[in-house]
Amino acid sequence: MKKMTIFLLVLFLCLTSVLVGCSNTEKVEQTEDGRVVLTALITKHALTQELSKMKWLQEAEERAGVEIKWEEVSADWSQKKGAMLAAGDIPDLIVGPNAITDAEFAKFNGLFEDLTPLIEEHAPNVQTMFEEKPELKALSTQRDGEIFGLPKYQRFWPETATRQFINKQWLESLGLEMPTNWDELYEVLVAFKEEDANGNGDPKDEIPMDFSPTGTTGFGYFQPTVLLGSMGITIGDGSGTGIFVEDGEVKNFLVDERYKELVSFLNKCWEAGLINKEVFTQDYTKYQSVARGDGDTAKVGYTFGWEVTDRFGNTLAPQYESMAPLKVSADSSEELSWSYDYNNLNYGVNLIQMSSQSKNKEAAMKFINELYDPEVSMQVLFGSLGTNISDNGDGTYSVLPPEDKEMDPGTWKWTTTWADNGPMYISDSLELTLGSDMQSVGKQTEPLQQVFESLDKEKDVFPGTFIKYSDEDNNALSLANTEIMNLAMAKYSEWITKGGIDSQWDDYVKELDKIGINKNTEIIQGYYDEYMSNME
């Protein structure tokens, strides 16, 4: 009897566990109209409106048969992400540019779904993207063959993110010529400082030179590192940690004598009072607002940015002109270059990924597939049809101007949709007339075109966007880079504002070598060589 009781108890527990297991696997939350409820997190720009206001997104969810409960994150993502990944509790989908990195896929092994079989079964748009652009499949595939995150391709962006602008109205009012080298630029900046260039009667309110905040972890866009092109260095994608390629050899400009020459020039400008005194303390919002001046009175003479209306606003934009690359000096014979950012501007990694714990992976994959429809992707980038984009009725489309006439088109895009931060595939066959800002960007890139036409993109452009490192090497590079950039960025701001680069340079180079800058370069050289051999 006792044995029978134990047997029945065990049988009851087994049946209960089976039933509970069945209940858990079948429990999928649905709306009243039968749509599957998913959870998702998106890292979005601070300007971007609530997702509930995006018509294109609501339509995409409906077509996929899902309703998504969104968590919208515009700040402190790194802190939130660390806690979330450590707890192992993530939503069905995570969206955002490299919101989850390759290194995190490896570190939190098993937390994210390998999308390969789901793509084959439920994502014809993704399959088409991979067939038309094989590099996008390579960009998405880990070294072991899994696909944890899907990419973006936005096609329309130019060769560079950074243009240099000068106030041509100031030049004309002071009788100055457009500078063609660093020496001439210096003389122009001095005149901007001393001669009341904006003509408002206050000779002290002009900022001759300004550039974007550098922070402490590395360089980015809209910074004077683009002037390394005056000495033949082609930086790429902002060259955050200093990596560049020259005639097939991987190098780091942080220990290059040409970088030393650039920093010395910036120190000369600083000591003459030509650089914004808040350049190392202001945030990006302040950087933008200062350039927009006071009404029709400009404040900044020479600076860097994406596009004139984005940088200076609609009122002041006509005062400015984009410039050709500068020579170091009038007698310099160096072949000029510039920052080549096309790959990073048009391609992106890990824009969307799925939790391995999702209860309805098929529904999640169907939603992902919707995002990669070229017409939907167009709206991911520029906004909804009808308000942001016009359907011309003949298979072509046109980006519309902002509804708010006071707003520039770039800000309008970032306000109304996911913009550059979304997963998308803008097919090369899509016929879309761009808005005035993108047309303007193309025109403002013209002074740089001669450089890009002569650039050897195979030997002098580092293809960092497409290189996949092993977990071991990725960790080694990251650890060393943290120390490298801590030292390099501190010295960058110190040498510009206080000087001392000549006396400290040799010790600085030795210290970076000890930290591992040359070892990092050797590791990257191996991957670069492997990538180039695969391209042959």
- Residue 485 corresponds to which tokens in the numbers above? 């950039």
For 510, half-sphere exposure in the C-beta direction (CA atoms, 13 angstrom radius) is: 4
CA neighbor of 312 nearest in space, from 221, 410, 223: 410
Residue 483 phi, psi (nearest 5)? -70, -40
Q: CA 386 to CA 520: how far, in whole Å?
A: 50
389 secondary structure, DSSP code: E
Q: 419: phi > 0 → left, psi -120 to 50 → alpha, else beta; which?
A: left
What is the pLDDT, as a whole number, of residue 18? 42
Give the count of alpha carbons within 13 A of 62, CB side only.
7
**CA distances (Å), 150 to each of 54, 139, 266, 349, 528, in order?**
22, 8, 41, 7, 23
Element (H, E) at 150: strand 149-153
* d(C-alpha 222, C-alpha 306), whole Å: 8
pLDDT at position 113, please? 98
pLDDT at 172: 98
Q: Report DSSP state, residue 228.
A: G
Rounded distance, CA 218 to CA 481, Å? 9
Q: Which residue blocks in 233-272 are alpha helix, DSSP H?
A: 257-271
Burial class (CB in 10 A: 0-12, 13-18, 19+), 14: exposed
Half-sphere exposure of 385 (CA within 13 A, CB side): 15
Residue 147's φ and ψ, nearest 5 degrees, are -120, 105
Model's pTM, two decimal places? 0.85
Q: At what angle do helices 517-535 and 501-515 cross, to 10 degrees?
A: 70
User: Tell me, what's the pLDDT at 408?
Assistant: 83
pLDDT of the residue at 27 = 60
Locus of tokens 């450089």: 451
**For the chain, what percentages of helix, strand and coil (3-state, to nearest 5) are there?**
50, 15, 35
- Those residues of the chain that have pLDDT short of 50 are 1-26
Contact 343, 98 (CB under 8 A): no
Task: Check residue 31 and give its pLDDT.
Answer: 84
